[in-house]
């Protein structure tokens, strides 16, 4: 009786369902009848089989639903929410024809506000609890996105998109203005809510940034120990154009290396057209990768190989890359990553893909201590995925999670133990 009172005072709630989570030390925990106990501080007290759990308080029984970590989307674009499906690729034509005109609309605060609420709603419905995103080059639109993410309760890394050349005038921002706006963002909201919201230095990609701008981005990131996010080696024509714009560099990656932009706090999206020496350089600098397979298919950009980063220990997370990616759902991104790996003749297991979409992403974004797996002591960032029948085995649970995605929405979602859906 005493234990019961202590437990119910200490524990905010407990969810019972089929538990599937990668573990920080390797492997995957599966419990057909699993329990996640969450404390009032929003941290996980227990995650494991219901049998043997010491929890005595009330339990919400959600079986046969799956309990799994909230997804970590390491690469997406907030101002592209409304242009999903615009098939005007490949990359450079798509930017010109679909992306830049849409991103230019975000100088209007009312428009940014409307889209920000769509964006957060779609992320949450898809089961994403942590997101790293590019805003537009409008500081105001970026603040609006941050406010929406904050109110929605999401964990987010947000970047004002820097670009000072090779894009429409309306989207250009000078290096000085980009730095000033970034410093204002740092002062206003970086680190807010115990680090739930973070600012990232975000030069769009090498073509649209001058060398001084890239160097300033590197310096600002170092000064404040900030995450850096940008794109690399997405498309072959882009690679050629990059070296025309930056003729001093020996490779696409070298443009970023010379600007001081490589390192363990840097996330490079795509990484398709890279050679052995590039991968070695990524490993040597600890630079991390956002794998965006659905986007790569949609724009015909090519296929990223998972073998080099796996062999060299380069951290990889999964990105939806909306709007080149056609879905906010990392479940769909996992399925695309599976197809991508299969097409390369190097299959990836659903178990490995779940790790990429959760703990792998958290590692890339530097928040694996807090999120990415359901383990005691971590924040309770988790989602409830409805299933029509019980999953008796890990394989069955993964089949439902990764491939059976007609019904894509999660039925509940929590960040730090707070229900956000």
Residues that bind Zn ion (CB under 5 A): 269, 321
Closer Cβ to Zn ion, 11 or 103, answer by number: 103
241 token code pair:
């154009």
Of 173, 170, 171, 194, nearest to 182 by C-alpha is 173
Q: Minimal distance in Å, beta carbon 334 to Zn ion?
A: 18
C-alpha span between 49 and 32 (Å, rounded): 8
Closer Cβ to Zn ion, 30 or 162, answer by number: 162
Q: Minimal distance in Å, beta carbon 409 to Zn ion?
A: 24
175 token code pair:
């290096």
Residue 242 near residue 255, CB atoms below 8 Å: yes
Q: Minimal distance in Å, beta carbon 18 to Zn ion?
A: 34
C-alpha span between 107 and 378 (Å, rounded): 38
Q: Minimal distance in Å, beta carbon 293 to Zn ion?
A: 13
Q: Minimal distance in Å, beta carbon 80 to Zn ion?
A: 8
Crossing angle between the packed helical segments 175-188 and 211-224, to the nearest 10 degrees:
20
Q: Minimal distance in Å, beta carbon 77 to Zn ion?
A: 6
Strand partners, 357: none
C-alpha span between 219 and 401 (Å, rounded): 41
Closer Cβ to Zn ion, 102 or 321, answer by number: 321
Closer Cβ to Zn ion, 30 or 256, answer by number: 256
Q: Minimal distance in Å, beta carbon 329 to Zn ion?
A: 17
Q: For the chain, what is the largest distance between any 2 Cα atoms, rounded to a whole number of angstroms? A: 74
Residue 148 near residue 116, CB atoms below 8 Å: yes
166 token code pair:
């090779």
Sheet holding 11-22, edge to edge: 44-49, 28-39, 11-22, 60-69, 382-385, 412-415, 418-419
Closer Cβ to Zn ion, 238 or 321, answer by number: 321
Q: Minimal distance in Å, beta carbon 217 to Zn ion?
A: 16
Q: Minimal distance in Å, beta carbon 75 to Zn ion?
A: 6
C-alpha span between 218 and 226 (Å, rounded): 9
If you count them, how many residues does the chain have?
421
CA distances in angstroms from 294 to 29, 186, 363, listed in the order given: 27, 32, 21
Spell out the residues 6+ positions from residue 178 whose beta carbon is closer than 8 angstroms to its own. Answer: 137, 160, 162, 164, 213, 216, 217
Three-class SS of residue 336? helix
Closer Cβ to Zn ion, 31 or 269, answer by number: 269
Q: Minimal distance in Å, beta carbon 290 to Zn ion?
A: 8
Residue 299 near residue 272, CB atoms below 8 Å: no
Closer Cβ to Zn ion, 158 or 397, answer by number: 158
Q: Minimal distance in Å, beta carbon 223 to Zn ion?
A: 25
C-alpha span between 355 and 21 (Å, rounded): 8
Closer Cβ to Zn ion, 167 or 383, answer by number: 167
Closer Cβ to Zn ion, 294 or 321, answer by number: 321
Closer Cβ to Zn ion, 138 or 229, answer by number: 229
Spell out the residues 6+ positions from residue 372 whose beta carbon is closer than 8 angstroms to its own. Answer: 22, 69, 72, 130, 358, 359, 360, 361, 362, 363, 378, 381
C-alpha span between 238 and 252 (Å, rounded): 9
Closer Cβ to Zn ion, 80 or 120, answer by number: 80
């Amino acid at each position: 009786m005493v234990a019961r009172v202590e437990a119910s005072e200490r524990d905010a709630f407990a969810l019972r369902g089929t538990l599937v989570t990668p573990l920080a030390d390797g492997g995957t925990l599966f419990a057909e009848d699993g329990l996640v106990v969450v404390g009032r501080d929003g941290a996980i007290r227990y995650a494991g089989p219901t049998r043997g759990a010491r929890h005595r308080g009330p339990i919400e029984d959600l079986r046969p639903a799956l309990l799994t970590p909230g997804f970590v989307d390491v690469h997406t674009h907030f101002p592209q929410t409304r242009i999903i499906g615009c098939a005007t690729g490949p990359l450079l034509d798509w930017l010109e024809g679909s992306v830049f005109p849409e991103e230019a609309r975000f100088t209007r605060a009312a428009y940014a506000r409307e889209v920000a609420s769509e964006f957060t709603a779609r992320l949450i419905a898809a089961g994403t609890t942590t997101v790293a995103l590019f805003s537009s080059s409008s500081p105001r639109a970026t603040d609006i996105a941050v406010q929406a993410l904050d109110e929605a309760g999401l964990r987010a890394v947000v970047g004002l998109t820097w670009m000072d050349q090779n894009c429409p005038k309306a989207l250009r921002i000078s290096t000085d203005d980009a730095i000033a706006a970034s410093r204002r963002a740092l002062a206003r909201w970086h680190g807010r809510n115990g680090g739930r919201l973070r600012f990232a230095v975000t030069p769009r990609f090498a073509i649209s940034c001058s060398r001084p701008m890239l160097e300033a981005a590197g310096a600002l990131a170092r000064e404040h120990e900030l995450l850096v996010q940008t794109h690399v080696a997405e498309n072959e024509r882009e690679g050629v154009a990059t070296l025309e714009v930056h003729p001093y560099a020996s490779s696409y990656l070298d443009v970023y290396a010379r600007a001081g932009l490589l390192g363990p706090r840097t996330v490079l999206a795509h990484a398709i057209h890279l050679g052995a020496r590039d991968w070695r350089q990524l490993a040597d600098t600890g630079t991390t990768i956002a794998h965006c397979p659905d986007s790569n298919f949609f724009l015909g950009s090519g296929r990223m190989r998972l073998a080099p980063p796996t062999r060299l220990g380069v951290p990889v997370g999964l990105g939806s890359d909306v709007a080149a990616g056609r879905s906010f759902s990392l479940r769909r991104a996992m399925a695309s990553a599976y197809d991508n790996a299969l097409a390369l003749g190097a299959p990836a297991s659903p178990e490995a893909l779940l790790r990429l979409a959760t703990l792998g992403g958290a590692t890339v974004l530097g928040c694996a201590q807090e999120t990415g797996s359901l383990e005691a002591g971590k924040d309770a960032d988790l989602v409830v995925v409805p299933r029509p029948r019980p999953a008796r085995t890990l394989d069955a649970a993964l089949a439902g999670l990764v491939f059976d995605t007609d019904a894509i929405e999660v039925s509940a979602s929590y960040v730090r133990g707070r229900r956000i859906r």
